[in-house]
Amino acid sequence: MLDYEKRLYPLMLVLVAFVGLLGVWSDGLPAALRGLWALQGSPGRLINDYTATVGRGAALLNASLMGALALGVVARSGVRLSGPTFAAVFTILGFSLFGKTPFNAAPIVAGVFAASKAARKPFKNYLLMALFGTALGPLVSFAAFEAGLGPAGGLALGLALGFAAGFLLPGLAMAMLRMHEGFNLYNIGLTCGFLGLFLASGLAAAGKDLSIAVVWGEGGGPALTALIPSLSGIMMLWGAATERGRLAGGLKKLYAMSGRLPSDFMEAAGPGAAVLNAGIMGLVSWAYLLAVGAELNGPTLGGVLTVMGFATFGKHLRNCVPVALGVAVSTLAFGKSLNAPGPVLALLFGTTLAPLAGEFGPLVGFAAGFTHLLVVERSAAWHGGLDLYNNGFAGGLTATLFVAAIEWYRSRPKA
């Protein structure tokens, strides 16, 4: 274990525990536990805000539990706690506010584990695919609780489909990465959307209703309002204390990187600079939500937590702002509201395209963000909301389009 990992694990444990304690403080332990239990049998397809369906306390407690389980899997597998694994844990933490539960995530992880054994490779080689692959958790919940097969039949189908999806993920993920060449940070989102398209087609052919519905919490509340600034503050203090005199150099090196996969900011710029960057990105994203009057609920806070996670693995203000501006201008150009569910999530999660701005400049990043909104508002219906990383799916398609066009242009003979 590297020296910084010995300090990073306690930080992660504090952050994950804080989320759970915030949930208990919000609704009280008995209510939070009752909601957590009820949540395991709840639908998870997009968009299903757990803060609205089971309460803020239960949603935060579920996120804390999922974050702790993810951190435990990382430690048990022997993979270093670095930028990619930090991003994975924070993404799970965020999406466990609206879609992921221990029940629907476990079969996916088991399927990826089985795939590693079938390929005769260590599970740690597939760890990130297993953690990010829990984006298909709604597939398990849908088959178990919404397909109308009864308790036993639904449970069996859900577990089987989740396991099968996890087994298929590694091979597909490698193929999807070649499509966009690392310019879509949520590569597993593209993979899960691609697989989800086929799964949704099969379920629809069997007569199952996969129409999209939106459950969107309103009103926020003290616990949800305090979540991001509290976590960001802790991270920024830790980052500043860790680097001390080397912080400015680390941030300069971090901001010079394009963010293209794989870009481990902890490895390249130092853990303090990477974690400080995550805190900054969290506060900026949170401030944007307040500025446009967006709800502070499960999906929006999940979006901010995901941005914070990937701020150690590809995202910083220099490469994210052009993409976010593109999404915002696209929103206004087509007469939509900046605080509506689709546009606000597209702006947060659409920063998956940050490497395009980092590599090719802000104009390309802006154009990619503008295009991304148009695609993402269509793509969820294609997979029936089974892929929680719908922006990763749409982002992968957008990145592939832009990379193909840019590479074709660059390949022309010089005059």
pLDDT in tens, 52-109: 999 999 999 999 999 999 999 999 998 989 999 999 999 999 999 999 999 999 999 9
List Cα–Cα distances, 50 to 42, 65, 242, 247, in angstroms: 9, 14, 35, 38
Span 300-335, pLDDT tens digits: 999 999 999 999 999 999 999 999 999 999 999 999
The string of pLDDT tens digits covering residues 11-36 is: 999 999 999 999 999 999 999 999 99
pLDDT band at residue 199, thresholds of 50, 70 and 90? Answer: very high
pLDDT at residue 248 greater than cutoff 90: no
Report whether pLDDT(145) > 60: yes
Does position 339 have pLDDT exceeding 90, yes or no? yes
CA atoms within 13 A on the CB side of 212: 19
Mean pLDDT of 234-249: 86
Distances (CA, A) of 132 to 74, 185, 218, 263: 12, 11, 28, 17
350-365 pLDDT tens trace = 999 999 999 999 999 9
Q: Residue 48: phi, psi to the nearest 5?
A: -125, 95
| pLDDT value of residue 2 | 56
Locate 194 and state its tokens.
């691609």
Which one has a higher pLDDT value, 154 or 257?
257
Residue 79, phi-psi category: left (phi > 0), alpha (psi -120 to 50), beta (remainder): beta
Q: Where are the domains of the chain?
A: 1-409
Predicted local distance difference test score (pLDDT) of residue 275: 96
List pLDDT tens digits, range 284-302.
Answer: 999 999 999 999 999 999 9
Sign of CA dihedral 319, 236, 72, 67: negative
Closest C-alpha to 119, from 162, 170, 76, 83: 170
What is the identity of the amino acid at 258? S
CA atoms within 13 A on the CB side of 191: 27
Task: Report how far residue 393's alpha carbon sits from residue 383's, in angstroms, rounded to the nearest whole number.
Answer: 10
Instruction: Show contacts of 173-179: CB within 8 Å, 24+ apart.
Output: 173/129, 176/396, 177/261, 179/396, 179/400
* Host H or E run for residue 261: none
pLDDT of residue 3: 63
- Rounded Cα distance between 265 and 50, Å, is 32
Task: Using pLDDT thresholds of 50, 70 and 90, give the confidence band for residue 148.
Answer: confident
CA 143 – CA 39 distance, rounded (Å)? 15
> 325, 251, 237, 328: which is closest to 283 by C-alpha?
237
Provide Rg for the chain, Cα atoms.
20
The two tokens of residue 371 are: 């295009």
pLDDT at 47: 92
pLDDT at residue 111 is higher than 90: yes
The answer on pLDDT for 193 being more than 80 is: yes
pTM for this prediction: 0.95
| 3-state SS, one letter per residue, for 285-328 | HHHHHHHHCCCCCHHHHHHHHHHHHHCCCCCCHHHHHHHHHHHH
- Which of 157-166, 252-261, 404-413 shows the lowest per-residue confidence on average (mean pLDDT)? 404-413
Q: How many angstroms separate the first and last alpha carbons of the chain?
A: 53
Mean pLDDT of the chain: 94
The predicted-structure confidence for 120-130, as pLDDT tens digits, reads as follows 999 999 999 99
Give pLDDT, residue 415: 66
